[in-house]
Structure 1
């Protein structure tokens, strides 16, 4: 009976709360590049009317999830409750953390775990030995999937129709002169990742940064989580990424396959 209700589009439409969707869009309008927004900014970014944006922002402010200084809105620390709800309700980040710390101890480099969320990757666990990017990364940080080793390691194991839908939606922007922006070349790269079982990014996300990632492949052949190691290009030649870091990543991946 439950399956019949779930498969009924009309039932799904009746159960969908559009106002909640718009409220979440308002929250997601804020990010590292847009920490403070006016009412007009929020309306433009979300595509909702100014009147609706005002109601959502005022509600967030009254509930102390946002602050308002008379012109600009910004998220308040209380918004961390929403992210912490995920971290405290799932054991996955806790299980991943010891493996990431072991990888960092063995290699002397930062290691991370991420999942695919929409068109981005989201970091769910991290062991940082040093800051190697111009932006700080931590749990909850988001980056484009197409130009990250974590993103490619996960995308390579998605069904072909999922990858094609992703490529129709996403603009492959050049983050550096090395970023792959040709869709056919990108498809070929994903094919190679699936054949070899790992992805390497050579200064495509940020100049001076190299990374290598492996997926956590499930029994059905799919992957929703990936692990990576990042290093400064000045310290680690591209030719040594596989030899130096792949064994530690693969060992962790194999061990986690039977514990997650």
Structure 2
């Protein structure tokens, strides 16, 4: 009779390959926003299509990969995980005390957002929701078109003129609500005003909700993120100037904490 096969010491010590392959798939898709086909992934990772297909099905079931028309891209759960890692290690965790202060002061949902890599959308990387039953709701990792939100408009207003130009040329300004900016001329005017005032307000993302946002700069003076609050439009309109002042103050405090030394937009320059 043939002897039963026995594991060698090296076999027992070798780590399972599947978890490593999962991370390789995530890393490969992270470099291709529009996704990759099974064949492209197989070639890039040098993995058999059959085992790769099984991995993709499992990741899709968990929401870590989204598959459509034969292409696979990162799913919402992967973005949420990335945002969680970012939040707990460095920025924005190091400025969260000021976000909490803003939340206590305005009693509305507050958030920090950053632009997507291709500068088409904003991604929420930290959120503290209001306790009111009638509130603006947002999840860490959620995305919105830049032009439709206060945070996105802030990012565009303080981006470089070249980045603004490319964005205006490439982006369709479709209406999300009746208040969404859909004219390039109107968007240009809004960005100039936001840059002058140091904050943006918008009702262009969700019907019945309004948000206000201010920029967050790093130690080199570059735009890093935007901080803002959002709530029902009726509550916002009763407290608009107060909310604007709170958000500008929060953006300034966050920027100072990150080493920003220049005059903050919308505030008087030191004598």
TM-score scaled to structure 1, two decimals? 0.70
Structure-1 residue corresponding to 2:226: 226
Give 1:209 shift: 0.5
Which residues in structure 2 correspond to 1:27-66 (within 5 Å)? 46=35, 49=37, 51-52=39-40, 59=52, 61-62=54-55, 64-66=58-60
Alpha-carbon contact 2:199-2:248 (below 8 Å) kept: no
Alpha-carbon distance between aligned partners in 2 of 1:234 and 1:252, rounded to the nearest angstrom: 23
**Alpha carbons of structure 1 residues 76 and 57: separation in structure 2 relative to 1, 3 Å:** farther
Indicate how the Cα distance of structure 1 residues 20 and 108 shifts in structure 2: closer, same or farther if over 3 A, else same. closer
Q: What are the ranges of 5 or more consecutive residues in structure 1 without an aligned counterpart?
A: 1-18, 29-44
Partners of 1:78 and 1:221 in 2: how far apart? Answer: 30
1:21–1:171: structure 2 CA closer, same or farther, 3 Å change rule? farther
Over the aligned positions, Cα root-mean-square deviation in angstroms equals 3.3
Which whole-Å CA distance do the structure 2 matches of 1:187 and 1:150 have between them?
A: 16
User: Structure 2 CA distance, aligned partners of 1:152 and 1:166?
Assistant: 12
Report the alpha carbon displacement of residue 81 of structure 1 after superposing the two structures with TM. 5.1
5+ unaligned residues in a row in structure 2: which ranges?
1-24, 43-47, 259-271
Q: Which residue does the alignment assign to 2:210?
A: 210
Q: Contact between 2:80 and 2:140, CA under 8 Å: does it hold in 1?
A: no
CA distance 1:23–1:154, change in 2 (3 Å): closer
Counterparts of 2:152 and 2:50, CA distance in 1: 32
CA offset digits 1:85-113 (Å, max 9, x no partner): 4344x311212322111111111111111
> Aligned ranges for residues 1-260 of structure 1 at < 5 Å?
23-24=29-30, 46=35, 49=37, 51-52=39-40, 59=52, 61-62=54-55, 64-67=58-61, 82-88=82-88, 90-117=89-116, 118=118, 119-129=120-130, 130=132, 132-133=135-136, 136-201=137-202, 203-218=203-218, 221-237=221-237, 240-241=239-240, 243-260=241-258
Give the secondary structure class of the aligned counterpart of 2:193: helix
How far 1:208 moved relative to its partner? 0.3
Evaluate the alpha carbon distance shift between residue 180 and residue 137 of structure 1 in structure 2; reply closer, same or farther with a 3 A threshold.
same
Cα 1:177/1:92, change in 2 over 3 Å: same
How many Å apart are 1:21 and its aligned residue? 7.7
State the shift of 1:58 in Å.
Answer: 5.3
SS at match of 1:178: coil
**Distance in 2, Cα, partners of 1:207 & 1:182:** 19
Give per-residue Cα distances to partners, 1:165-222, cap 9 Å, x unaligned: 1122211110012211111110111011001111010x21111001110111346553
Say if 1:60 and 1:127 are closer, same or farther in 2 by CA, change over 3 A: farther
- The aligned length equals 215
**Offset at 1:159?**
1.1
Shift of 1:66: 3.5
Change (3 A) 1:245 1:65: same
Q: Looking at CA atoms only, which structure, 1 or 2, has the larger radius of gyration?
A: 2
Deviation at 1:57? Answer: 9.3
